[in-house]
Amino acid sequence: MIELRNVNKTYNGKVKAVDNLNLKIEKGEIFGFLGPNGAGKTTTIKMITGIINTDSGSITINDVDIEKNPIEAKRQFGFVPDDPNIFLRLKGIEYLNFMADIYNVSSADRKERIDSLSKRFEMENAIGDPIQSYSHGMRQKIVIMGVLVHNPNVWILDEPLTGLDPKSSFLLKEMMREHTQSGKTVFFSTHVLEVAEKICDRVAVINNGRILFCGTLEEMKNHFKGESSLEKMFLEMTGNED
Ligand SMILES: Nc1ncnc2c1ncn2[C@@H]1O[C@H](COP(=O)(O)OP(=O)(O)OP(=O)(O)O)[C@@H](O)[C@H]1O
Ligand SMILES: [Mg+2]
């Protein structure tokens, strides 16, 4: 569960990136965070994950406050950032073991998970190579594997499908579904409306730092009577601002 209460963030005293945001993501749901470029999605995710602080308001993950109790809060989630260019000098397997070490994963669990994830993501032949030598999609896969190796309760992903080929993208969606079926939570941002439409239990649409809609797609359709495609509803919502 993730809860944001009256969260605000302004950059350099002028750009109001997040404006009094309230959001509650429940246990067991896949929650999509939609919005155009510059809407405030990454800023919100960076505050949830404790990469940057809020100006005001509070954020809890499984009832643990990210600013008051950051280490305990960070134990609750795994995070896939929008840029997978991290730890390039490590080999894939070194990175996975590093993540498993940080999160105290037992050697039996890590072996089983690394074997199974490498197979599913078809990375068996690559994990012995440095991440530097990976393609963009492979770098994304290793970051995703690094999160799943510690099997977090809450999974947070910023634009996770960008750069993945159709097979990997399908696999990731399948894994998100599996993750929530065991009562865990998935929160991810995307531009790809079809993805949101297919796999999200609920979505929020953000523009100019403000939430314009939060609910199920069914509720969104009822709200926009007559519009059947998410794309049209999205364009109508984000185009009529100001
Ligand atoms: N480090 C920063 N310094 C100043 N302004 C920033 C910074 N990061 C983001 N912004 C501004 O904050 C606003 C929200 O940006 P953010 O990155 O959160 O959007 P986003 O919804 O993730 O967009 P995208 O879909 O392009 O990833 C934008 O106006 C952006 O220019
Ligand atoms: Mg972003």
Q: How far apart are CA 28 and CA 217, in angstroms?
A: 17
For ligand 1, say whether the CB of 107 is within 6 Å of any of its atoms. no
The fold of 2-239 is Rossmann fold (3.40.50)
pLDDT of residue 241: 47
Concatenating the DSSP letter of every residue in 109-162 gives HHHHHHHHHHHHTT-TTTTTSBGGGS-HHHHHHHHHHHHHTT--SEEEEESTTT
**Given ligand 1 and candidates 14, 15, 207, which is best to mutate, with the most ligand atoms within 8 Å of its CB?**
15
What's the pLDDT score for residue 1?
Answer: 95
Which ligand is in closest contact with the Cα of 34? 1
Dihedrals φ, ψ of 139, to 5°? Answer: -65, -40
Tell me, yes or no, if the pTM score tops 0.85: yes
- Ligand with an atom nearest the CA of residue 39: 1
Percent of the residues in the chain that have a pLDDT greater than 70, as a whole number: 98
Which residues, given as ranges, of the chain have pLDDT below 50?
Answer: 241-242
Residue-range domain boundaries for the chain: 2-239
**Is residue 57 within a helix (H) or strand (E), and if so which, with residue range?**
strand 56-61
239 lines ligand 1 (CB under 6 A): no
Could you read off the pLDDT of 32-47 as tens digits, one per residue? 999 989 999 999 999 9
Length of the chain in terms of residues written: 242
